[in-house]
Chains A and B, each alone.
Chain A
Amino acid sequence: MIMPDMDSLAHPQERRFNPYTENGGTILAIAGADFSVIAGDTRQSEGYSIQTRYAPKVFRLTDRAVLAVNGFAADGNMFVKKVKQRLEWYHHAHAKDMPLRAIARLIQTMLYARRFFPYYVYNILGGIEEDGTGAVYSFDPVGSYEREACRAAGAAQSLVQPFLDNQIYFKNQEAAQGTSHPSHLPLETVLSIVIDSFTSATERHIEVGDGLEIFIALSKGRTLQGMESIRGLQELTVTEDGERLFVMRRDLKKD
């Protein structure tokens, strides 16, 4: 007969379920004058284990809006599902896609609605504004948000963000006499900065790697300007003569 453990019965014990985990990975978005680039790696991990090498974190919402979610993957997927649902309802009610700034505000209210049991995710929304400019909106888990020119979030945020400060905002760089730094960079430059950021993060962070998905949102009337033949490019545009959306896939190191 097993003797009951009198010691453990003597005083109360607490057991607790932890509803959150952290699934690693990194996301990044950069706005151009008439385009927006939103990227994320595809590794999903828990602790030191890799759960999958392909779990998308970047999602097409409309032809001019892309949402990247990073943090707790289950919450992230649920959140994207709910945002897409709200956008579908909007489409049924108004017979048009929701504008980007409205999606940004919608995301804020959806996040803040869960103020006391938050979606454990950092969101970055990228796309094209109604005036045709490229835009990036970044959010904290409870909905505080801001429009910016660039933002990195997730496991390697601390590795990537200072690099972006330097390469996008030209921080700590003096413009040559009689010149000034550009406020927006060309698409080709932005893409190479994005790829460099992720290869660097992959090199030094264990939770980043496997694959890279880069979404490119182009303003109405803008073409890829000779970048059509770029390796691994795929068009995702649904509606004609509007904004265009592309995705570009790259491999990252798997170790």
Chain B
Amino acid sequence: MSIMEYNGGSVIAMVGKDCVAIASDLRLGSQALGISSNFQRIFPVTDRVYVGLPGLATDVTTLRERFRYRVNMYTIKEEREIEPETFAHLVSSTLYQHRFGPYFIEPVMAGLSKTPSGGFKPFIAATDLIGCLNFAKDFVVAGTASAKLFGVAEGLWEPDLEAEDLFETISQTLLNAVDRDAYSGWGAIVHVITKDKIITRTLKGRMD
């Protein structure tokens, strides 16, 4: 029995043209037993940064509060919102502080970072449970369906997708991956972050 697979659940993030998307299933389980079909594991950090926390459910709650506390402290001290790159390093160092007794979470982050010219640049990242950062240029995955997500995303993703096309790509990737994973599924949620709005949609998927 792996602690990482105790509650199930998966998260994926993708880069598009001037936009990013992050999506997750909604299952909370206790091994094979389903407990909830409305378990949120993606949280807003700022208006432009979202974080997904797949892994042990008790640590989802703990880490969410911990990140909220640390982001608030940053905002007060710096008198500005945290940038996604900075947040990724905050996540990384928080997890590494627990190197020898880790939180059983592999966070996935997605956001738009400010450029010096005043524009926005898509940003995604993921870490393992001890905070090793992965800044991918295309997509990142984590959770019990990660192998399936890798396979489908590698086949469906292409560069410079517009927001609506990115939504379709990430949705299809997630839905088809979790349908082949017993520990993920039971509904899904997708967030697409663009420079002037965030599109959040709950998907209708297989409930078995």
Contacts and interface: CB of A to CB of B under 8 A. Distances in A.
Contacts of B175: 171-172
- Residue from B150, B151, B172, B205 having most chain A Cβ neighbours under 10 A: B151
Interface stretch (A181-189, A198-206, A221-229): A198-206
B179 A204 contact: no
Interface string B165-208: 00000001001110110000000000000000000000001000
B151 A165 contact: no
B148 A158 contact: yes
A162 interface: yes
A contact patch SS = helix
Interface in A193-227: 196-197, 200-201, 203-204
B73 interface: no
Contact of A165 (B147, B154, B179, B205): B179
Chain A residues touching B, range: 10 to 19
Contacts of A172: 172, 175-176, 179, 205
A190 to B, nearest CB: 14
B152 interface: yes
A172 B207 CA distance: 12
B contact patch SS = helix
Given A159-B147, A159-B150, A204-B150, A196 B155 contact: yes
Contact of A156 (B151, B180, B205): B151
A161 interface: yes
A200 B121 CA distance: 27
Nearest to A159: B151
Given A172-B205, A196-B155, A197-B155, A166 B150 contact: no
A165 B177 CA distance: 9
A173 B172 contact: yes
Chain B residues touching A, range: 10 to 19
Contacts of A161: 148, 151, 180
A171 B179 contact: yes
Contacts of A200: 151, 154-155
A125 interface: no
A246 interface: no
B205 A162 contact: no
Contacts of B177: 162
A163 interface: yes
A163 B179 CA distance: 11
Given A172-B179, A203-B154, A162 B148 contact: yes
A140 to B, nearest CB: 17
Interface of A: 156, 158-163, 165-167, 171-173, 196-197, 200-201, 203-204
Given A162-B176, A172-B175, 9 more contacts: A158-B147, A158-B148, A159-B147, A159-B154, A165-B176, A165-B179, A171-B176, A172-B176, A203-B154
5 contacts: A161-B148, A162-B176, A172-B176, A172-B205, A203-B154
6 A-B pairs with least C-beta separation = A159-B151, A200-B154, A166-B176, A172-B175, A158-B147, A162-B180
